[in-house]
Amino acid sequence: MTRARIVAAATMVAVCVVAGLAIGAGDGGGHRYLVRAVFDNSSFVIPGEDVKIAGVKVGKIDSLDLTKDNKAVVVLDITDPAFQSFKTDARCRIALQSLIGEQFVDCVATGGGNDGRAEALPAIKDGPGKGQHLLSVSHNTTPVGVDLLNNIMRQPQRDRFKLIINELGAGLAANGESLRAAVRRANPALQQADKVVAILARQNQMLGKLTDDSDTVLRPLAQHRKDLGGFVDTAGQTAVATAKQGDALEQNFAKLPAFLRELKPATQRFGALADQMTPAVASLSAQAPAVNQAIKDLGPFSLSATPALKTLGNVADRGRQTFPRIGGLVDSLGNLSKPLQPLASDLGNVSSSFDTAGGFESLMRFIYYYTGSVNGEDAQGHFIRSTVDVTNCVQRSTTSPGSCPSTFEKGAGDDAASARATAAKTKATTTLLDYLLGQDGGK
């Protein structure tokens, strides 16, 4: 086998493999996502035309069919994996692709209803279109093509009117309800208008209040119409300045997703903080009248305190002059306190010991009993407990007066007299101590 034959054989094998893969892909060997969309009318729609979402081709028209109630069925083959997830709020319409009459199907995979939580479009379990995903006629519209309107203009005026009367009468015969539903589905604007009217009906009270308050809102706006006119005049300049910063704004928008991802945890923490602050705010709201009253009373108090604050300012001015002067004295006292620390510590220990031993109580008791011992009270009044022996033995003498015991000379019989005197003094001292200590028996 020559080299040319080997190359030819390899080429044939490659072609066969590619053809086999193409046939396998075309005969449904892989997973296919088919949407069975039902329309009131699908005239001039042919298989093989495009299926688009937001202007991007995502598949093609696979086949056409007819329901039992004479509705048109257009089977959509969605080949783009990114859009093989139609939701229950999906919508499709037949649109004109070119001026020569070609049509395509324009779809919205999901309308974002229920905050984007719409369920997936269910598949048909049995019957015609088994395995396909059914999109009912209520979700689809078939607007009248511009080419059909232009065809009417080809006829003379009288024939046009005749065609409209005859064909319209034949089409409307006994089909009033169907025509009503078809007209609503045929014009998306009517569907949106119905939704708007329903929303306005639910918000009629708010709209009434808005109408009543409009005069209140527009009156101050009319008073500032010159400012409003200035705003409109400068809006163009603002737009020009914004356009010059287009690159910076584009960068900001590019960074916005990352910023929002980082912002989410912070907002969650703020939400938790708000939940925890709710009781405190509620308590503060309950105390709002008292807080308001306190703030109102604070005004007169502030006025009354103004003279005192001014006087305090004068004192502060004097303090600026006084404190620098006594700085040296403070330093000297600080230096003096260091050598006095041991003495202060010893005095503190002595005081603590004196207090622990009951010294203060004993001192107070001594003062109390001493006062009671030297001051007495009887029926005549207060008197001092003290006696003086008035005799000629009281005065001292350098000569012996005889038998007087007060002399300093010791003569005959002095020992007995001295013993008696000592015994008398001891008894007097004992009696005085008993009285001071409260042991005199009430004498």
Least confident of 6-20, 136-150, 317-331, 335-349: 6-20
Least confident of 158-167, 215-224, 250-259: 158-167
Exposure b/e, 158-175, CB count within 10 A at least 16 = b: eeeeeeeeeeeeeeeeee
β-strand pairing of 72-78 with 33-39:
antiparallel
The more confident residue out of 83 and 441 is: 83
The token pair that represents 303 in the structure block: 């006025």
- At residue 104 the predicted structure's pLDDT band, cuts being 50, 70 and 90, is very high
Least confident of 73-82, 151-160, 267-276: 151-160
The more confident residue out of 61 and 210 is: 61
Least confident of 48-57, 221-230, 255-264: 221-230
- Express as a percent the part of the chain with pLDDT over 90: 11
- At residue 311 the predicted structure's pLDDT band, cuts being 50, 70 and 90, is confident
* CA-CA-CA-CA torsion sign (323, 327, 329, 333): positive
- H helices within 61-156, ranges in order? 113-116, 146-152
pLDDT for the residue numbered 35: 94
Residue 242 neighbours by CB under 8 Å, 6+ apart: 249
For 158, phi then psi, to 5°, come to -65, -40
- H helices within 326-413, ranges in order? 327-356, 359-374
> Could you tell me how far CA 248 lies from the centroid of its own chain?
31
Least confident of 136-150, 238-252, 260-274, 413-427: 413-427
Nearest partner of 89 among 42, 136, 32, judged by Cα = 136
Distance CA 409, CA 63 (A): 163
The more confident residue out of 193 and 361 is: 361
For 374, phi then psi, to 5°, come to -95, -10
- pLDDT at residue 404 above 60? no
Distances (CA, A) of 357 to 162, 338, 347, 414: 134, 30, 15, 46
- pLDDT at residue 58 above 90? yes
Q: Which amino acid is at 438?
A: G
Distances (CA, A) of 222 to 67, 76, 210: 61, 56, 17
pLDDT for the residue numbered 334: 80
pLDDT for the residue numbered 26: 42
- pLDDT at residue 17 above 60? no
Nearest partner of 147 among 92, 104, 183, 96, judged by Cα = 96
- At residue 257 the predicted structure's pLDDT band, cuts being 50, 70 and 90, is confident
pLDDT for the residue numbered 270: 87
- What is the pTM assigned to this prediction? 0.35
DSSP conformation class of 343: H
pLDDT for the residue numbered 187: 61
pLDDT for the residue numbered 180: 72
- Phi-psi category of 129—alpha, beta or left, where left has phi over 0 and alpha has psi -120 to 50? left
Nearest partner of 134 among 249, 240, 241, 39, judged by Cα = 39
- At residue 399 the predicted structure's pLDDT band, cuts being 50, 70 and 90, is low
DSSP string, 222-282: HHTHHHHHHHHHHHHHHHHHHHHTHHHHHHHHHHHHHHHHHHHHHHHHHHHHHHHHHHHHH
Q: Calculate mean pLDDT across residues 192-199.
A: 78
Q: Looking up tokens 């324009």, which residue turns up?
A: 106
